[in-house]
Amino acid sequence: MHASLRRKVIEVLREQVRVEHEALRSSPTGPHLGSSSGHGAALDNAPGPAQPGYGREAAKHAKMKAALAEKLAMEAEEAARREQQVTLKESYKANIETWKNKNKGNIRGLLGSLHTVLWPDSGWQPVSVGDLLESVQVKKVYMKANLLVHPDKVRQRNGSAEQVAIADMVFDVLKDAWNAFR
């Protein structure tokens, strides 16, 4: 959805640049608008439509405008993605907080009940308390959980925005519990 919006914005901006470029080429006074006063002296020295180098300068400015438009579209898309993440985190926060408070600082309890807060097709196999008795076993299960819920890994696997939001919050909770466990 955002990628198509970005492409559409870029197309519109490129079309605007093309129209402006054509208007400058067809204008009898060129880009400096015929000003010969002291204010426009720098523009008077710029190549006009009849001067050599004008096409090169216009093309350079058109490329710069298109690149700026693309950058602005990407920034708008990123801001929309961040805002969506904040909204999703707010909606899942109560569930994650309940899970966190139920197993306050207990990495074994958090790992044992991790399946209750993850998305349905996460691929996480529930772990029994018997599999978390020794610290070596806890570390092994924690590392597996890290691979599953690390936000960057979820994005690499083309996870949905909801999955990334859940993974981000779960990752932070597990990381804090792991640091307390060590």
The separation between CA 151 and the C-alpha centre of its own chain, rounded to angstroms, equals: 12
Q: 48: pLDDT confidence band, cut at 50, 70 and 90?
A: low
Domains along the chain? 1-88 (no CATH), 103-182 (1.10.287.110)
Give CA–CA dist 55/30, Å, rounded: 11
> Considering the chain, what is the average pLDDT of its residues?
83
CA 68-71-76 angle, 5° bins: 125
Q: Residue 59's closest CA among 29, 7, 6, 22?
A: 22
| pTM, two decimal places | 0.61
Mean pLDDT lowest for which of 8-12, 87-91, 94-98, 121-125? 8-12
Tell me the mean pLDDT in the region 154-171: 92
